[in-house]
Structure 1
């Protein structure tokens, strides 16, 4: 008997959507968005579904994709956070300014 491999097609990448980062089809939510909230806000699958207005299959697909591509997505998250920090420093002054003390 030959096994039939089933695919859950809920994740896509498109250079014109969210800078080419993997996202949930039909949403603007990236896999990295899900990972950040899971890791930094300690949300379980139900909490993530509520947070983003997603279904559980969407959340589990995003988490499966994240763990299968963890190194790449963690790098994307780090880059995103670093860019946000640079933007914040530009808007509020350098980290050595009086505003950051």
Structure 2
């Protein structure tokens, strides 16, 4: 007989891991990282193949969390993009010409 998994236990948020953003329990793999991989065209089975010991249930739980909280996760993604663009601009400004 197989064990039943409470899907509510698959996604966690802790202040000191991944900046307090939602992530797959027991991993430093955030919901937003799974969302980005999906946006890049990877399917859940392909994501599972990319990450050792990641289960299909964990990927689907992350995607369910993303779709249930899409506005929040998209805000995180926008913040990361803005930080990246700022760092890139600072780097470019400091480069010798």
Q: Which has the higher contact order (CA 8 A, sep 6+)?
A: 2
Aligned to 1:19: 19
Structure 1 segments, 4+ long, off by >6 Å, are none
Out of 10-19 and 50-59, give the one that drifted further. Answer: 50-59
Structure 1, unaligned runs of 5 or more: 1-5
Name the larger-Rg structure.
1
Q: Which residue of structure 2 lines up, in the alignment, with residue 29 of structure 1?
A: 29
What is the correspondence of 1:2-81 to structure 2 with a 5 Å cutoff?
7-8=6-7, 9-39=9-39, 41-53=40-52, 54-81=54-81
CA positional deviation for 1:52: 2.8
Which 5+ residue runs of structure 2 have no aligned equivalent?
A: none
Once superposed, what is the RMSD of the aligned Cα atoms? 2.1
Work out the number of aligned pairs and report it: 91
- TM-score normalised over the length of structure 1: 0.81
